[in-house]
């Protein structure tokens, strides 16, 4: 696996309005596919983590998201 890009996304937690930071990491696997790892920054077991398998087009969309749209893969 190869790290392509990572970013930290600040957000407000909806119930407590506490400032939090989510992590997004884009990896390329050995077969040419892409893996997007998402973590909401909270400690386990309360934290949420997701793994999405992306094709090239989706990976390019993620890489080129404008700052105001970052975090869109959480929905």
pLDDT tens readout for residues 33-57: 999 999 887 776 777 888 999 999 9
CA–CA separation, 48 and 55 (whole Å): 23
CB 37, CB 49: distance < 8 Å? yes
Does the predicted model carry a pTM greater than 0.85?
no
Q: How many helices (H) and strands (E) in the chain?
A: 1, 4
Cis amide linkage into residue 45, ω under 30° from 0: yes
CA–CA separation, 17 and 45 (whole Å): 20
């Amino acid at each position: 696996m190869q790290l392509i890009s990572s970013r930290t996304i600040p957000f407000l937690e909806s119930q407590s309005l506490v400032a939090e930071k989510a992590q997004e990491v884009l990896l390329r696997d050995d077969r040419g596919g892409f893996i997007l790892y998402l973590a909401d920054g909270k400690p386990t077991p309360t934290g949420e983590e997701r793994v999405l398998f992306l094709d090239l087009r989706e990976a390019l969309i993620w890489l080129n998201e404008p700052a105001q749209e970052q975090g869109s893969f959480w929905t």
